[in-house]
Amino acid sequence: MVVHSLPEKDTWIEDFNTGFQRNLLSENHVTISYQYLESKFNLSEINKLKNGVLTRQTIDRLNPDLLVLCGSNAQELIGRTYMNRPGKKIIFCDLNTTFPGQDYDEARNVTNIFRSNPANAIKELISFLPAKKSPREKIKIILLGDNSDLSKIIKQTFSAADWSPYSLIDLMTVNTFEDWKEVVSSIADKADILLVSNYKKIYTDDSQTVLKNSQELINWTTQNTTIPVIGCVDSFVHDGGDIAVTSSPLGQGETAAQVVHRLLHGENTTDILPIHNQDYLVYLNNKPKSPQISKLPSIYHAFAQAMETFEKK
């Protein structure tokens, strides 16, 4: 059974499932079922806990041999219950820089797959952008996002990365669209590149009751800054951005399937060392607004088209 923290229609989840399924086609005797907690987009703690209870009841009823748990909520709400449970093997997916929680690294029935850090891929992308500074001046980068768990994870991951020869000068999070606009409007005076992490939890105002439309937010952002804007989540380009570089959900799914195959063919979870997935994807808009992005080498276009991450609208 695969348990996702995010909703079924999330593009990251869809791509993960695609990679997972196509790498288990040869396992004809395997039945795959899916559960979606959806709690990452649900602000109610009560509903999150309720979803966890319902999923655990489904697991107890179906009694799967393997649990593939993706995302922090699945790891916390489901994984802790079945840690060291006889007859259960657990694969934690979509981990970032640390184990999912205290004592998990000591569990005898757990193995881990870590998400790639796309910082190096972003650095390579920046190196192809037309330079506006002399070679002696460091290109300055700012990361901007909402206050969601995903943005906090990206912030943690990027803060630990080596950005040389560039300089990551700030990692900013805001709650409202007004705060977002204030940052974006002044960013060209401070930085040369804007990285955008998650933005799905930006509210229209301080009441924090209505979320800002994502496409309106991204379109406003790209239209109101003169520096290149690079997304760090796959939805960025679909919502109107020029380009995004992210860890690969396809790669995560494929790696998870490979671990499942190893477990089905006799290996134990304790035999499988933590895996650090290094795959990433480039999402590219067919008509980028930024003149710098439009001048990227054609290999970026070819890669995005080959991976079906080329937005043509």
Q: What are the chain's domains?
A: 2-116+248-278 (3.40.50.2300), 119-246+281-311 (3.40.50.2300)
pLDDT digits (tens, 9 = 90+) for 34-49: 999 875 555 566 777 8
187 forms bridges with which residues in the sheet? none
Q: According to the model, what pLDDT value does residue 10 have? A: 79
Dihedrals phi, psi of 222, to nearest 5 degrees: -70, -25
Q: According to the model, what pLDDT value does residue 157 have? A: 87
Record the pTM: 0.82
Report the C-alpha gap between 140 and 191 in whole angstroms.
5
- Cis check for the bond before 165: say yes or no (omega within 30 of 0): yes
Mean pLDDT by 10 residues, the chain (313 residues): 87 89 86 82 70 94 95 87 93 70 70 86 91 73 92 88 94 97 94 95 93 96 95 92 92 93 92 86 89 88 80 64
Dihedrals phi, psi of 304, to nearest 5 degrees: -65, -40
Q: According to the model, what pLDDT value does residue 214 have? A: 95
pLDDT digits (tens, 9 = 90+) for 74-92: 888 999 899 999 999 999 9
